[in-house]
Structure formats: structure tokens, C-alpha cells
Amino acid sequence: MRTKVVKRKGKWKQFIPVYLMMLPGLLYLFINNYMPMAGLVVAFKQVNFSTGIWKSPWVGLKNFEFLFTTDEAAVITRNTILYNLAFIVIGIVLGIFLAILITEVANKTLKKLYQSAILVPFLMSIVIVSYIVYAFLGAEHGLINNSVLPMLGKEPVSWYTRPQYWPFILVFVHTWKGIGYGCLIYISTINGIDKSLYEAASLDGAGILKQIRYVTLPCLKGTVITLTLLNIGKIFYADFGLFYQVPMNSGQLYDTTNVIDTYVYRALLQLGNSGMAAAAGFYQSVVGFVLVMISNLIVRKTSSENALF
């Protein structure tokens, strides 16, 4: 019994190299993710930089009022939630579809080429993406107005003044830019599936479609749930570059492009109140945390092995 206790006490020494490898990452997380949490106090203060953050007067929940008392509160909340829901659903469906198509490619060279090509838009700066979109949608020199619409016998469209088109444009641009990241995760999961499952299904007479339905999709369940839970945590956050840069900050499009992040940015430019921006970030984080906890609780009750914790 005594020898077992000694072995357990000395066992941690063999993990010292692992702890040393973890140390840089842990330091990074502590410095960039935990130390800044002290700045949450800014959300409850009227910041005066001449006296410093800690000596600035407390204002309680006053900084949160501008998010809920303005006429645009309902619009920015609606836009933020609906866009993110569309991004989550389309990202999952299309990501799985493309991942399955790529993994079914027999030629290894082509498979690697497709995997690399689908990730290229994700690595692009959103500023570059905004100018690519402008090259297609520009009123005077845009490809669609000068080439596509004339062939169809249609009149040119002033895309940057017509808000009704932008929900589809933004969803398309976000999907084109971001689908590669999720797709590679699904590809990695599919490549990790035990090949004997496919062999057994093939021996039972299952074709490719049935193998996808009864082997691939069930094995992707855990990955889909994990990615969905992580995205739900960010459902009150919006891609600032997508909603600000791509529409070129056109005021005529605010009804369909204004989200919480762009609204806070514009308010900060006009009012110069950093406390309001901090309050918005605090609000988004709290709501995201609550949604993740609720979603994880639901998953744990229905499929406990796929819950985050």
C-alpha cells in the first residue's frame, strides 16, 4: 500500500515536460483573457482619463441604458440574433456537405488542393473581401451592373442604397469567407472515423449514401454539437468587419446592416464614452455565457456524452 502511495506522488514528475509545454499557452491565456477582466469596472463608471479609471465616478447601470432605451435597440438586437442564427445553420449544413464531398475525392492531390482552396477566403482580410464585393456590386464599374444584368435585360441596381438585398449578400459573403474553417474541422472528424465501420456497412450492402447517413453523420454529431455550442456563446456578437466594411458604412443600409457591434462603434465615435462600449461588451459576454450554459444543460439531458461539461 505504501509503495502505491509513493508511486502516485512521484508520478507527476513524468508530466513535467507536458506542464512546461503548457506554460506558454497558459501565460498567454492569463495575460490576454484573464488580466483584462479587471477592466470590466469601466462598464460601471463614467471614465475620466485625466483622473484614471479607478478614481472615475461610479454611474451604476447608466452605461447600459443606451443599448435598451434607444429606438434602434430592437433593430440591432434583431439583426444580430437573426444573422448569427443564419450563419450557424448554413455553416453547419454547407460545411458538412462540402466536407463529405471533399473526403469522397479519390485523388489525394486534388483532395489537398480542394482543402487548401476552400480555406483561402478565411485567411483574407475583411478589407480585401469588402473591395472584392465592391468590384462586383459597384454602381458604375461593378461586374454585375456592367456585365451580368445587361445580358439578362435588367437595369443596373444601386446595391449600396438598397437595404432589401443585403441580408442575402451578407449571408453569402460570410458563408464564402468562413465556410472553409468549419469544413476542415468536419473533414478532420470524418478522417478520424474508424474505417471498419464503412467496411461493415459495405458488407451489409450499404451504398455511399447509406454509409453517409448511418456512419458519417452520426459520427459527426459530437463535433456539430460542440461547434454549435461555441457559436451560441457568440450569438450576441457580430463580425464587425463584415457589417461595417463590406456595406461600406452606407447609412441607407443601417436597417439591415446595423448590429450591436457597429452601433456601439458609431456611438463611441459620436459620444466618446468608453464606458458605454465596455457595457455593451459586458452585456454580450453575460448573455453569451448564459446561453451556452442553458444549451449545454439541454444537450447534457438529451445526449450527455456530447455535452461540453
pLDDT at 22: 92
Distance CA 65, CA 111 (A): 52
Length of the chain, please? Answer: 309
**Relative orientation angle of helices 260-271 and 73-103, to the nearest 10 degrees:** 130
Distance CA 260, CA 238 (A): 7
Q: Quick check: is 307 in a domain?
A: no
pLDDT at 7: 54
Which domain CATH number covers 210?
Answer: 1.10.3720.10
pLDDT at 230: 84
**Relative orientation angle of helices 166-191 and 108-123, to the nearest 10 degrees:** 140
Q: Taking the CA atoms of 204, 210, 214 and 216 in sequence, report the sign of the dihedral they define.
A: positive
Q: Quick check: is 35 in a domain?
A: no
DSSP structure string for 109-131: HHHHHHHHHHHHHHHS-HHHHHH
Q: Quick check: is 276 in a domain?
A: yes
Distance CA 183, CA 72 (A): 35
Contact 113, 229 (CB under 8 A): no
* Strand-pair partners of 58: 45
- Across the chain, which has 309 residues, the per-10-residue mean pLDDT values are 53 82 92 85 83 83 79 84 93 93 88 89 92 90 88 89 93 93 91 89 87 90 88 87 91 89 82 78 84 85 76
pLDDT at 84: 93
Nearest 5°: the CA angle 235, 96, 229 is 30
Q: Quick check: is 297 in a domain?
A: yes
pLDDT at 68: 78
Q: Rounded to whole angstroms, what are the CA distances from 165 to 127, 241, 243, 257?
A: 20, 18, 14, 11
Q: Quick check: is 2 in a domain?
A: no
Q: Quick check: is 83 in a domain?
A: yes
Classify 221 as helix, strand or coil.
helix
Alpha helices in the chain (DSSP H): 2-11, 16-29, 65-68, 73-103, 108-123, 126-137, 143, 149-151, 166-191, 195-203, 208-211, 217-219, 221-232, 240-244, 254-257, 260-271, 274-302
Q: Quick check: is 28 in a domain?
A: no
Q: Quick check: is 55 in a domain?
A: yes
pLDDT single digits (tens) 129-174: 999 999 999 888 889 988 888 888 888 889 999 999 999 999 999 9
**Relative orientation angle of helices 260-271 and 274-302, to the nearest 10 degrees:** 160
**Single-letter amino acid, residue 259:** V
pLDDT single digits (tens) 171-198: 999 999 999 888 999 999 998 898 898 8
pLDDT at 99: 92
pLDDT at 130: 93
Q: How many domains does the chain have?
A: 1
Domain of 218, in residue numbers: 46-302
pLDDT at 10: 60
Q: Taking the CA atoms of 132, 134, 137 and 142 in sequence, report the sign of the dihedral they define.
A: negative
**Single-letter amino acid, residue 159:** W
pLDDT at 131: 93
As given in the structure block, the three cell numbers for residue 255 are 436597417
Give this prediction's pTM. 0.83
